[in-house]
Amino acid sequence: MISAADIRKRIVDVTFANGGHLASSLGAVEISMALAEVFEPERDRIVWDVGHQAYAWKLLTGRWDSFSTLRKAGGVAPFPNPSESRADAAVAGHAGSAFSVALGMAAARDRRGSGENVVAVIGDGSIVNGHSFEALNNCAAATKKLIVVLNDNGMSISKPAGSFARFLGRLITGVRYNRIKAAAEAAGHRLRLTFLRGPYHRLESRIKGLFLGSRFFEGFGVRYIGPVDGHDLSALKAAFTVAKEDKRSVLVHVVTKKGMGYPPAERNPTAYHGVQPAARPGASGPHGVSWSDAFGRALCEAARKDDRIVALTAGMTDGTGLAAFAKEFPERFFDVGITEGHMVGFAAGLAAGGMKPVVAVYSSFLQRAVDQVVHDVAISSLPVVFCVDRAGVVGADGVTHQGIYDIALLRCVPNLSICQPKDAADLSALLDEALGRKGPTVIRYPRGAAPSEAAEPPARQSGSSRAAIWTTGDWYGKAAEVARRVGGCEVVHARYLKPFDSARLAAQRAAGMKVVSLENGCVSGGFGESIGADLRLGWPDTFVPHGAPAELERKFELDTDSVVRRVSAFLDGRVAACGTAIGG
C-alpha cells in the first residue's frame, strides 16, 4: 500500500530533478488518495482544475514508474491530459475551467443515462474565476448531480485576493462552530464507517448552515459539506462517500496546507509553487536578471515619476515581477485573483478615469481576456499597457502554457501597438514609450534571463545583402548568428511588430532583397505573415508539447543550425518560398 509519505517523497525527488509545480501537489496528496479509493479513476470522470495539484493523481493512476520523465520531451505531461491516461478526464492547464467542463460531462451523462460520477477538483483561487461562478449559477439547471471538491489552501499562486477568500476563511475559522465541531469530531470519527455516517454529515451540514452562513452554496442548489481536514484520509473518504451517495449536487470544502510534508514549501509556498531543476535550498539558480524582474524594476522607476501609473495582476504578483511594486506602491497595486477578463475590463475603467494602468500577464493567460482587449480597451483606444510575460515557447510547462499565439491573436486588432525588446534596457525604453502613448500597447517578452544590453545589429551591407532577416527581440542573437554564418544577410530587430518599419521593408524590397522572418511565435497569422516574408520561420500549426526549449527548437528545426541550413537552401533556390517554410 503506497502511503502519503511515499507519494510526497516521489513528488519532491522528481520535481527537484526535472522542475515542476511542487507546493500545490504536496498539499493535495490525500485528496488524490481518497478520490482514487472512493471513485473508479478510469470510469468516473475526475476533472482537475489546473494540474498544479495533480501529481499525486498521476502517481496513483498508472504513472508511478514513468513519473521520472515528468516534463521531459516525450515523457509524462506536466498537467492532466486525456491523451496520456483515461484517468485524466480533461486537459487542465488554466485555472477556472474545471467546473464548467465537469458540468458539461455531467449533463452529457444525464442525457446518455449512464451512471458514472463526475467530480470537479478546484482550488480556492480558481473558484473566484468568473468561469467558475457562471458554472455554479448554471449547475442546478444543467444536471441532477455533480460533485465539486473545493481544495482550500488559502493560496492560489500568490495569496488569494478578494471578498470570497475572506468568506471561505470565515467558514473555516468561525469560533462558535469550531467549538461545537471540536466536541463532536471524536464522535463523528467513530461513526464515519458505520450506517450512521450519513446522518452525522447531514447534522454537521445543518449546524454549519446555522453558524457560518454556508447556505451560500445551497442557494445555488448545491449541498455544502465541510470544512473537512484535507490531510485526514479517513475523513476525506467519509466525506467523498457521502457526496457520492447523495442524489444532489454536492460541494465538499476541503482545507489543506500548500507544501504539506516538505517544510521549506510549507513555510514559503509561493517560492515553491514552481521550482526549477536542482532548486533545493543552496542550489545555484539561473544567472542574470529575468525579463520579469527587469520589467518590475523599470515599472517601479517609471511609477516614482508619475503617480498615475497603477499595476494589475491576476494572482501572479511574484511570477510577473510585481512584488517590489506591490511593496513600494501598495495603494497603486491591484491583484484581482485569477480573473483575467475582469482584470482587463478593470484596467479599461482605470484608464478611462485618467490612470495609466499596466497589466502584467502571461501570454497564455491573456488568451482568456482577448474579448476585453478588443471590446473594452481597443475600441476606445484607451492607454492600457499590456506587459506580456512568457511570450514564446516556455518549455516544460507544455501545450497549455506555450506563449506562441499572442501575436496572431492581437495583431489584427485596430488601435493596438505591439512591440518586443531585445534586452533589459530596451524593455525599459519601450515601457516609457508605451506609458506616453494615447492608445493601448502590448510589450511581449519571453521567459528566462534578459540580456542587460544586446549588441547593436551589424551595419547595413549596402549593395551586398541578399536577404533581410526580420526577427523578434528574443531571437535577435540567433538571427545575428544565422546572418554571420550564411553571409549576405542584414538583420532587422523588429522592435515594433505593429506598426512595423514599412519604409525599411520597402527599401529592402526595392533593393531586390529577399525577406526572412524568424519569430518565437506561431507562423500561422504571425509577424512574418504581416510583413509578407518570403520565408517564414516560427512554430508550426500544431500544439507544441512539453520539453526543454532547446529540445523543442531542434525538434521543429528552429535551432541555429537548422535555421542556417534552411535559409541557405532558400537563398540558393533549393527551397521554395513560404509554402515550404519551417512551420508553414
Q: What is the pLDDT of residues 415-471, one digit of tens each?
A: 999 999 999 999 999 999 999 999 999 999 999 999 877 655 555 544 568 999 999
Average pLDDT, the chain: 84
Q: Give the CATH number of the domain where residue 430 resides.
A: 3.40.50.970
* 3-class DSSP string for 521-550: EECCCCHHHHHCCCEEEEECCCCCCCCCHH
433 with 480, same domain: the answer is no
Residue 140 lies in a domain: yes
Cα distance between residue 87 and residue 114, in whole Å: 17
How confident is the model at residue 164, as a pLDDT? Answer: 52
The domain of 385 spans 291-444
Query: pTM for this one?
Result: 0.77
SS3 17: helix
221 with 296, same domain: the answer is no
406 with 532, same domain: the answer is no
234 with 326, same domain: the answer is no
Residue 17 lies in a domain: yes
Residue 421 lies in a domain: yes
How confident is the model at residue 219, as a pLDDT? Answer: 80
Least confident of 20-29, 345-354, 552-561: 20-29
Cα distance between residue 496 and residue 501, in whole Å: 7
How confident is the model at residue 188, as a pLDDT? Answer: 53
In the predicted model, is pLDDT for residue 313 greater than 90?
yes
Residue 252 lies in a domain: yes
Q: Give the CATH number of the domain where residue 545 resides.
A: 3.40.50.920
**Which residue of the set 30, 204, 340, 519 is catalytic?**
340
**Which residue of the set 45, 332, 368, 514 is catalytic?**
368
State the CB neighbour count (10 A cutoff) for residue 494: 29
Out of 263, 280, 314, pick the residue that ends a domain: 263
Residue 270 lies in a domain: no
**Which residue of the set 258, 478, 514, 536 is catalytic?**
258
319 with 440, same domain: the answer is yes
475 with 437, same domain: the answer is no
The contacts found for 347-355 with CB under 8 angstroms, 24 or more apart, are 347/312, 347/377, 347/384, 348/372, 348/376, 348/377, 348/380, 348/382, 348/384, 350/310, 350/312, 351/377, 351/382, 351/383, 351/384, 352/380, 352/382, 354/308, 355/308, 355/309, 355/310
Mean per-residue pLDDT, 398-421: 93
163 with 217, same domain: the answer is yes
In the predicted model, is pLDDT for residue 180 greater than 60?
no
- What amino acid is encoded at 332 in this protein? R
Cα distance between residue 560 and residue 16, in whole Å: 29
How confident is the model at residue 19, as a pLDDT? Answer: 83
481 is catalytic: no
Residue 278 lies in a domain: no
In the predicted model, is pLDDT for residue 143 greater than 80?
yes
247 with 180, same domain: the answer is yes
Mean per-residue pLDDT, 92-104: 82
Cα distance between residue 47 and residue 106, in whole Å: 11
574 is catalytic: no
12 with 140, same domain: the answer is yes
Residue 286 lies in a domain: no
How confident is the model at residue 139, as a pLDDT? Answer: 86
Task: Take residue 354 and report the three cell numbers written for it.
Answer: 485618467
Percent of the chain at pLDDT above 70? Answer: 84
420 with 542, same domain: the answer is no
- Our count of domains for the chain comes to 3
517 with 562, same domain: the answer is yes
9 is catalytic: no
Query: For residues 306 and 178, which has the higher predicted lDDT (pLDDT)?
Result: 306
State the CB neighbour count (10 A cutoff) for residue 334: 19
CB 494 within 8 A of CB 440: no
How confident is the model at residue 579, as a pLDDT? Answer: 41
Mean per-residue pLDDT, 63-72: 89
Cα distance between residue 365 and residue 34, in whole Å: 31
Residue 281 lies in a domain: no
Least confident of 34-48, 103-117, 268-282, 544-558: 268-282
In the predicted model, is pLDDT for residue 345 greater than 50?
yes
In the predicted model, is pLDDT for residue 211 greater than 50?
no
240 with 371, same domain: the answer is no
Confidence of residue 210 (pLDDT cuts 50, 70, 90): very low
Confidence of residue 22 (pLDDT cuts 50, 70, 90): confident
